[in-house]
Amino acid sequence: MTKLLDFARLSARQLMKKRMRVLLTAFGIAIGIAAVVAMVSFGEGIRYQAIETIRQQSDLTLIEVTGSIKDGTVIPITASKADLVRKIPHVEAAGPVYRVSFSTLRQTYIDVLGIRAGDLKALFRPVLASGELFPASSNQVLLGHELAGKLKKYEGIREGDLFTVVIRDYNEYGAPSDRKLAVKPGGTLRAREDALDNLLIMDLDSVSALSNESMPYNAVYVRVDDPENVMAVARDVQSLGLTANGAFRQIESVNRFMDLVILFLSIFAAISLVVGALMIVNTMVMSVYERTREIGVSMALGASQGDVVTLILAECLYIGMIGGILGDLLGIFFSWVINTAGKAYLLSQTGNLFSAFARYDLALVTPGILVAAFLVAVVLSLVSGIYPAFQAARLNPVEAIRHT
């Protein structure tokens, strides 16, 4: 171990003799590293913004659990399955629902959520703008904020007005048959900026009584305690053989897409890394050639082939470390340029389209990126040193000593 440290010190002395050359070579690697750092940070910045946007616009902790089809057989949501779902860790509330749709006599389409009033409270913490929730087993309904506005504007229906809706069923031959039902809005929700705004909400049992399906409900809504745990809950749901859907799926696909984008960006940036690596190979091959006699003498004085390889690789290690640090610094600088000049340009070109971006940095440099880039620089330098190192070790000492 101390031997390695002494070798490291010796290699450092060797490099100090050729400071300029070492610095230039390290710079070659550094530019590649900086390009990768900037590109990955840029990608991460975009990912962050996209995900933040989704977070703000959607209800991340809500999961809709539905049945699934496995090997051609349908796994439905049953009461016992719903209980299992409720027992999953990090599930704050869960309630069965029945989703159907109505239309008014004037063909206004209405999405309907059948749910128990208690579950509605636990899952959505509804705030009423007027009226009340709905009683069990009745035809009184609750209107989402936008739906209430729509019904009033196009149909003239207000709270307390009984109105007729049409439920369209299809028989086994696909022929439609309509049933009529009178419902009465008894309350209106405050605007919430989510899906409830456009829903007509009524008691679960009343809705499932309307249906001619055998199951009492067709989904379970699940509220997860924290956005961080949504994926874990979704996995547990899937292991019950059920399907989990929700806004988190969008984040998943953003992540998949951004992984791909970042991969492509870094592949292009990595091309300059290859150039940097070739510079190291070149520098070290030259250095070995210049030191041919010195290497021969070292062998005469007791250096083994392994010692020679170690000495050369130690020099590459230094070049890699210098290159890695320079590259990180340069990468931070590039990201800063993207965040100032780049962002100003983007905003001026796209106007309001990307105004959401104005709040965040375009490129997000994380410690993880910097550490990874540094390691890439070090490993790349060591790999670049393998050929020159073995070339040095293979020298014939007698000929090497005679070399001028």
Partner 1 sequence: MCTTIEADHLGKVYRGSIPALGEASFTIGKGEFVTLIGRSGSGKSTLLNILGCLDSPSSGSLTLDGEPVDFRDPARLVSIRRQKIGFIFQQFNLLPHLTAQENVEYPMLFNYREPEVRARTAGGLLERVGLDGRRDHYPAELSGGEQQRVAIARALVSNPPIILADEPTGNLDQKTSGEIFSLMQEIGRERKATFFIVTHEREFGEYADRSFRLVDGKVTAI
Using CB under 8 A, count the residues that bind partner 1: 24
Query: Binders of partner 1 among 132-161, rule CB under 8 A?
Result: none
In the complex, minimum distance from the CB of residue 332 to partner 1, in angstroms, rounded to a whole number: 34
Q: Which of 21, 240, 307, 357 binds partner 1 (CB under 8 A)?
A: 307
The yes or no reply on residue 286 touching partner 1 (CB under 8 A) is no
Q: Nearest approach, Cβ of 20 to partner 1 (angstroms)?
A: 15
Q: Which one of 99-107, 180-188, 292-300, 349-357 is the stretch in contact with partner 1 (CB under 8 A)?
A: 292-300
Residue 4 CB, nearest approach to partner 1 (Å): 10
Question: Stretches 144-152, 223-231, 271-279, 301-309: which one binds partner 1 (CB under 8 A)?
Answer: 301-309
Residue 292 engages partner 1 in binding (rule: CB under 8 A): no
Helix (H) or strand (E) holding 3: helix 2-16
> Can you point out the beta strands (E) in 71-203?
73-75, 91-104, 109-115, 128-131, 140-143, 163-170, 176-189, 199-203
Kindly tell me which residue out of 305, 336, 346, 383 binds partner 1, with binding defined by CB under 8 A. 305
User: Is 3 among the residues that bind partner 1 (CB under 8 A)?
Assistant: yes
Q: Is 71 exposed, middle or buried (0-12, 13-18, 19+ CB in 10 A)?
A: exposed
SS3 205: helix
- Does 383 participate in binding partner 1 (rule CB under 8 A)? no
| 3-state SS, residue 313 | helix
Rounded distance, CA 253 to CA 202, Å?
33
Nearest distance, CB of residue 356 and partner 1, angstroms: 58
Cα angle value 33/37/42 (rounded, 5°): 150
Does 301 interact with partner 1 (rule: CB under 8 A)?
Answer: yes
Report CA-CA distances (Å) from 357 to 333, 339, 351.
20, 10, 11
Residue of 303, 321, 329, 346 interacting with partner 1 (CB under 8 A): 303
Q: Looking at beta carbons only, is 73 or 404 nearer to partner 1?
A: 404
155: left (phi over 0), alpha (psi -120 to 50) or beta: alpha
Asked whether position 300 contacts partner 1 by CB under 8 A, the answer is: yes
Our CB check for partner 1 shows the closer of 303 and 346 to be 303
Residue 108 or residue 305: which is nearer to partner 1 going by CB?
305
Q: Which residue has the tokens 């340069």?
A: 330
Report if residue 290 touches partner 1, rule: CB under 8 A.
no
Interface with partner 1, residue 302, by CB under 8 A? yes
Distance CA 180, CA 359 (A): 51
The partner residues of 219 in beta bridges, in order of sequence, read 97
Q: Which of 137, 304, 340, 355 binds partner 1 (CB under 8 A)?
A: 304
Calculate the dihedral angle through the C-alpha atoms of 318, 324, 329, 334, rounding to the nearest 10 degrees. 140
- Using CB under 8 A, which of the segments 31-39, 230-238, 240-248, 289-297 binds partner 1? 289-297
SS3 label, residue 236:
helix
CB of 30 to partner 1, least distance (A): 25
Enter the DSSP assignment of 217.
Answer: -
Contact between 397 and partner 1 by CB under 8 A: the answer reads: yes
Partnered with residue 63 across adjacent β-strands are 222
| Ranges within 5-44 binding partner 1 (CB under 8 A) | 6-7, 10, 13-14, 16-17
Q: How far is the CB of 16 from partner 1 (least distance, A)?
A: 8
Instruction: Give the orientation angle of helix 247-290 with respect to helix 292-300, to 10 degrees.
Output: 80
Q: Which of 55, 150, 184, 293 binds partner 1 (CB under 8 A)?
A: 293
> Is there binding between residue 297 and partner 1 (CB under 8 A)?
yes
Q: Which stretch binds partner 1 (CB under 8 A): 206-214, 242-250, 357-365, 395-403?
A: 395-403
**319: nearest Cα among 14, 28, 22:** 22
What token pair was written down for 176?
A: 């439609």
| Nearest C-alpha neighbor of 280 from the set 387, 393, 389, 381 | 381
User: Which residue do the tokens 């989703």 mark?
Assistant: 99
Footprint on this chain of partner 1 (rule: CB under 8 A): 2-3, 6-7, 10, 13-14, 16-17, 293-294, 297-305, 307, 397-398, 401
